[in-house]
Each structure stands twice: as C-alpha cells, then as structure tokens.
C-alpha cells in the first residue's frame, strides 16, 4: 500500500535533534513514502543532523542559517541541482533570546523583538519565495505555531507576538501562492517538551494545566503533531489553505 506522500519530495527545515517537532514530521513523512531534504542551522549541529538523516535514509542534508539570505539562496541551489522540484516544505523554525522569555513582555528589547520576528516569521516568507519556482505542480508549505499567538502564556512573551505574525503570514502567503496551486498552512500544537521549548520557563505548569482543562484531559505528543502535519502536506488536504490546525487535545476551545 502506498503512503500519503509516496513519490513526493520535501524539504524539512529545522532538524537538529531527535526531540523536536521537525524530526517527528521527518520520521512520519519518510514512513509515508517521501524523499526528504533536511536542513540544520549551523556547523555545531551537523554531526547530529547527519545521524538523523541516516535514520530517514536520505543523504540530502544542507546547512542553512535562515537569518542569512545567502544561505537560503544556496539551499535552493542545492534543491535545483539535487532534486529539481519540491512537493512540500516544512518550516519548523523559531528563535528568541532566552532573556526575552522571562519576566514582563513590556521589557522586550528592540533587538530581541527584531531577532524573534526575523528568524521565526520572516524566514517563512524567504523560504516561500525560494521554494515557489520548484513547486511547478503545486505543493504545500507548512509551519508550526502555538496558542501563545492568540492568548497570553507566562514567559512566552515576544515569541507569542512572533507566532501571531507567523499566522498572519500564513494567510497572506496562501493568498499569494494559491493561484499556483501552492497551499500554505500551520499546525498549532499544545505544549510539548522539545529541546527548543525548554527555553520557556514554566513549561511543566503549562502541560499540567492542559491535562486538567483540555477536553481530552491529556497532553499531546510530537507523533500526533507529525501525523496531522503529514495530512496537511498530502493530497488528502488539497482543499485546505490559509488554516491553523490546532493539535492540542482541544485546549484552544476552552474558556475559564
């Protein structure tokens, strides 16, 4: 039986360790038949990224700092030389200075605000622009948000504002790229204990609150996020664009 992504080629950005959402999506996409290109952010992560690439049976691994336009251009030059076309791109990238993820949001520095939005939000625009010429038969772009885009979570601060901008970016890109058959969506997971999320203080409290209040009375797993993501990347979601799909055990629907 063929998988949901059989004979499709995809680029997954942000694979750096085996505790992240990007890696969970890579694993699920590979199981569903996709040929993958993986990217990692800097040289310190290369050895680990190469091990992960071996696990999903790909030798297409590219270093790309998404804050650097030259790196992004080089990434898509590699796409052109190695695969020629893309069916999907997963953008699972976010960054804010650790000191901005504590205390009051009003204390956010100008530099910290700009950096969080550059890496977490603008990079999706840059990636979409780079990927578009290689999505000649349509395709799917997917990014990863969080409910902190809509509600205040303690210590999430500037990242919540960046995620709000990211969700708006999804809608604008969906409108721009839709005529070419390119869909743009986001998944919004509940709090998961990834390596990146460990920078946010109080993550355990978030998870406890979700388990107590979410309709399913539990937290979610990276595997569940990956399964929903692969659906959005696949032809089964061919009529869905500009959406933010919550994978959070229903927590986002609950009031007080």
Catalytic residues: 156, 163
CA distance 150 to 111: 23
Entry field: residues in the chain: 256
Residue 27 phi/psi, 5-degree rounding, is: -60, -45
Residue 241 bridge partners (DSSP): none
CA 128 to CA 125: how far, in whole Å?
5
Please report the DSSP string for 24-39 in residue order: HHHHHHHHTT-EEEEE
Q: Which residues contact 191 (CB under 8 A, 6 or more apart)?
A: 146, 197, 203, 206, 207, 210, 219
User: What are the φ and ψ backbone dihedral angles of 86, each rounded to 5 degrees?
Assistant: -130, 145
247 - beta bridge partners?
A: 189
CB within 8 A of 215, min separation 6: which ones?
249, 250, 251, 253, 254
DSSP letters of 212-248? Answer: HHSTTSS---HHHHHHHHHHHHSGGGTT--S-EEEES
Token digits of residue 145 = 């948000």
Burial 233-253 (b: 16+ CB within 10 A, else e): bbeebeeebbbbbbbbbbbbe
């Amino acid at each position: 039986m063929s998988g949901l992504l059989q004979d499709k080629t995809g680029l997954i950005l942000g694979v750096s360790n085996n505790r992240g959402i990007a890696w969970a999506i890579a694993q699920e996409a590979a199981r569903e038949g996709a040929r993958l290109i993986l990217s990692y952010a800097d040289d310190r992560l290369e050895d680990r990224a190469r091990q992960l690439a071996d696990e999903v049976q790909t030798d297409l691994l590219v270093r790309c700092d998404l804050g650097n336009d030259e790196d992004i251009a080089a990434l898509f030059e590699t796409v052109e030389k190695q695969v020629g076309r893309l069916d999907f791109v997963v953008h699972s990238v976010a960054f804010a200075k650790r000191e901005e993820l504590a205390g009051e949001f009003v204390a956010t520095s100008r530099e910290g605000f700009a950096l969080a939005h550059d890496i977490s939000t603008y990079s999706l625009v840059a990636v979409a622009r780079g990927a578009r010429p290689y999505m000649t038969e349509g395709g799917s772009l997917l990014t990863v948000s969080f409910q902190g885009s809509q509600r205040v979570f303690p210590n999430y601060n500037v990242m919540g504002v960046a995620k709000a901008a990211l969700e708006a970016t999804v809608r604008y890109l969906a409108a721009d790229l839709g005529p070419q058959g390119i869909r743009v969506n986001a998944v919004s997971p509940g709090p998961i204990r990834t390596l990146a999320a460990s920078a946010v203080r109080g993550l355990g409290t978030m998870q406890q609150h979700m388990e107590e209040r979410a309709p399913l009375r539990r937290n979610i797993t990276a595997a569940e996020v990956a399964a929903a993501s692969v659906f959005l990347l696949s032809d089964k979601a061919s009529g869905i664009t500009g959406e933010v799909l919550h994978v959070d055990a229903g927590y986002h629907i609950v009031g007080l």
